[in-house]
Structure 1
């Protein structure tokens, strides 16, 4: 019922019984119904056809996979640097003596103060004929520089290449060679090393780290210096390679949290002893 009259006219031409009165195929192609669909097909060809939809979907999937691949690469780079950062911390915390470790923390603190100090701006006010607009502009620059340095100071980071320069100045060439032997070390020269990782191990030095202590040590330090020294010694396990495994890491956790772990085991043994005594009394009462 929904078909147009031109469709039935075409059928009438095609289904005429008498072949002499029946229109030829060329004549049928000239009917309104077929012409309408031919014109419609030409208009559709001018626009993206349905046949191109799968290719567009494939293009979209390929683009999205590229985006996912880029995100994956960035994530792998972050994970790789995180491992590198922990490896550097382990090398410094385990292979350096107490004096060398203290000297390193002091040198890092001194370097931070040099980087975060404002430049001498006294020359700004020396010009007698300087305009007020220029003075305001310079004051704005100083404020912006000060805020940027303050923000950088709060990050408490140091460029890896700068850390290596400090180690070189202290004569710790062996440590530098070990750091350079780490995987993908050359790719991390401009990455930011978190200094708080080193401050975590300075609690066992008895406050001898000088400027390396600071507020960060108060936040990251363990309650007792003894535990701090033990945790620093137990971090050697990280360098153990294949032989270390989960057991070594769990051992270091047990050392750091020795009080809690012992109390848990002690209460467990006490409960087990009580249950055993109850069973013995119950067996004796049956005889």
Structure 2
């Protein structure tokens, strides 16, 4: 089921290319030759398209998987206590420092982390850190690093102007992961179970049923005068059934 969209796209591309190429080739080739060449061209093109889409979706899937892990970790940091977050970062930094045989190690000092001449500030929450919240850090001496889930654009510009290093959720996730200190269980709010109707209603608006109903009706009417009535009857019936489904399960728009 995971690769179902990929295969449906491939099958759709194959039949679309086959129909188009056969309709074009049948005017210049015998029916058998046009059919064989259309099958060859559509199958080859669909295979290349399948490989391209599979590679792109695989890369996209990896990116989405990493973003989801970072998002869950950012929620954990926002829900956890500042003391636990400070302990986690201190442990992670020291593990990497030992691996690099560095002579200085991080330690907790009041509400900051000290590592040699560098001072690290921590503030994990759901909202991004603003420029106003960054101002007190600018007045501190020495090298400064600010760890948070995210920062506003104004805060990023201010930090760049005053040479303050910002470490967002992605950088913190990478730091903790590489050190091997990632908590086995992440804090998270209670999950809301989404019903099938709610999942479907996010993708289908209820008012769209009229378009499906009109299309299905027109196809059924065309089946009365066309030489291929079965195709129109099946397609029209599917569209009418789908219009009824959308009418009852589609998303209501405000």
Pairwise same-fold verdict (TM > 0.5): no
Query: More strand by proportion, 1 or 2?
Result: 2
Structure of higher CA gyration radius: 1
Query: More helix by proportion, 1 or 2?
Result: 1
The structure, 1 or 2, with the larger RCO (C-alpha pairs under 8 Å, 6+ apart) is 1
